[in-house]
Structure 1
Amino acid sequence: MSADFIQIMFFLLAGIALIILLTARLKVHAFFALSVACFVVGIGVQLPFAGVIGAMKNGFGHIMQSLGFIIVLGTALGVLLEHTGSTRVMAAFILKKTGERHASLAMNITGFVVGLPIFCDSGYIVLSGLNQTLARRTQIAVPVMATSLAAGLYAVHCLIPPHPGAAAAAGIIGVDLGKLILAGIGVAVPASAVGYWWAKHAGKKMPPLPVTRENDDDAHAKLPSVTQSFLPVIVPIILIALGSFSSVEAHDSSIWNFFKIAGDPMIALFIGVLLALIPVRSWKESAISRLLQEGVEKAGSILVIIGAGGAFGAVLAATKIGNHLGDSLPLASMGIFFPFLLTALLKTAQGSSTVAIITAASIIQPLMPALGLHTPAGQLLCVLAMGAGSMMISHANDAYFWVISKFSGLEMKVMLKVYSLATVFMGLTALAMVYILSLLML
């Protein structure tokens, strides 16, 4: 390969522009957009055709090896929690603790907890009925309730595995998932809280829904208990945390060896799936099989996107772009701000947080030494910074934006004023938290 820096940068930008055009404007599936971009970049910088194919296969396979089981199990867990009504039970429990006067805070917390295993759009759809009911009952404006719930779901979705963007970035950059989950929760909590704060501030003068009588005779029919609802979410998180801790500390006891095994994200999520099946023990085998199949089918679409992202990253690595950028840009002085800015630009341009963070991770991976983020702590901070960037700005080209709008009955103007601005503040808050962590860790 004899391509110079200008040629490499030209075709890199052309590849990114092509991904944005195909996914945002022409609505082409991200798998095909990323795959086409692999050929545009690889052939454009004069990689051998066979070399491009080989890099794509290696990159795809590496990501599947790292994340395949995790994505499938996480998706199946989310499907089971939806269909058993566990999400409704968790929401009702949190509302009981906060009180109806703080219903918007309850929905924000509910979104955060429910969002741990469930993708943000699915979680919002599942909880939207409860959200509307509480808005009528408490006379809190719908934009406040909707954005509070959306912010809790969104913060988790952008920062914490097994959500596909964060999980894929961890696989590409090489970050321990257990540590990312723990640090991601620490960053996501203040980001979610800021989204709730902005919702309260921006929507306080908006009119509430008219009061109507709700028929919720069957609201709690055949629902699991609070313990059964929370266990599938809490137990995997605890196991992964303990597993991560046991890997860091030199423990030889059998109990720590057990946590090292049970704390593997694949095993922990599998335990979560088994716990989520407990409330449906009396169901027919065909019903359980159908739900598990639904989870696998949902995961399939996510896996091919993540795999294509890994392929794109492998092609970029083969171009030696890291060496060129490291020699041409003052990356060492940019640190975590470069991953944040790149991901934010991609997110705002094409709409998908998942595609944005996967694309950014593929570009940044060879730049880690130049950015001064090649240590384990730096790699963790890099993924968190990309997660923060993938929050902003959610607007009309984001599918989640329209899920919130349509299921809450909110007009574009209100969505931009309340929700879109909330994502800006959330992203900046998450970046501030990552910067504070960098002062402590680097």
Structure 2
Amino acid sequence: MKTLILSTSDIEGGAARAAYRLHQGLLAVGEGSQMLVRAKYSSDRHVLAEKSVLTKLGPPASRWPLRRYPQREKTLFSAQWFPDAIAAQVARLNPDIVNLHWVCSGYVRIETLAKLQKPVVWTLQDMWAFTGGCHYSQNCDRYQQQCGSCPQLKSHKERDLSRKIWKRKQKAWKHVNLTVVTPSRWMAECVQASSLLGDRRIAVIPFCLSTQTYRPIDTNVARNLLGLPQDKHLVLFGAISATADPRKGFHLLIPALQKLSQWESQENVELVVFGASPPEKPLDVGFKVHYLGNFSDDLSLALVYSAADVMVVPSLQESFGQTASEALACGTPVVAFDTTGLRDIVDSQQNGYLAKPYETEDLARGIAWILQDRDRYQQLRTNAREKAERAFALEIQAKRYLSLFQELLEK
């Protein structure tokens, strides 16, 4: 079987990593897999870069429709209107299955899906596939109707850009042989409730990772390599644009840590942040903070997770939450809010703690609960690693995809 994975990138960014890990998993179980990407960063010979002029012009052109909404929120919003050369490339490669992942930022035009002439399996990295352009709906449920009057565009018109994008999707995808894969039950529920994709077949398959790369590393060794203290409880927080992206919840972690500082000695606990640089003006979070900057390779991330006592993922919305699954694979318990995709990763009081959304005091309570009992903590670490091996290993998820692909081709 020949699978072609379409992704904006291969390893740059969390969505790209999820796609590339599936690609690795398919190869590991002996299946043919290629990736077609706009931006290639790996040396993998199975990854092909789409180099047409249209692909180069797509990203800047994709932002043009948004000029009509100067007051819009600075969240990601994709119109995907610019032409591309993808259909011709897919025809030349002639795969059995096309597996879409994150294909926005001007890479794949909405109307291109109908031209692929292959069964399409779309792995949803966020909510864009069934909205009028936003990637996370926040508190808006207009994707369950036809969008319009979009709060992220600050629009009060029914026939705004979000309605036009919704209608383009409805028209273009009406006859596409499309199956949806979501990484979490929450995402599946959102798809089922959506007006665009609610009638499609939906399969839930979590994102996978290499449990050989993401594994527990001796804590003392990890801290030495990263220049972190040996004698402190280290609370870890991190993501791409960790402190800048409001959806990642750093603004909720700060009051939680300030509350924690009232219960725990400030001499015993320190915060470690990756995916962000130190701010110009130091923040008062109640504890000393170590900013590690950005990491682009899996081994460095495994070191960071292994150095920490607890990982906190205070996101408002996550389709899955790969930092949480990566931390568990390294034997590090996770504290998160009991909401969205993170509920499928963290088993509260078994391998971490799920706090009431979005109560910062309960988030602090969860961190304290993880750190308080050393015997319980060791069991949490064991449970965390076991959950990752059982639920997120590359080969396990690759086989689930393979089974789905085979079933679709037989039909």
Taking structure 1 as the reference length, the TM-score comes to 0.21
| Structure number with higher relative contact order (C-alpha < 8 Å, ≥ 6 residues apart) | 1
The structure whose residues are more often helix, as a share, is 1
Taking structure 2 as the reference length, the TM-score comes to 0.23
The structure whose residues are more often strand, as a share, is 2
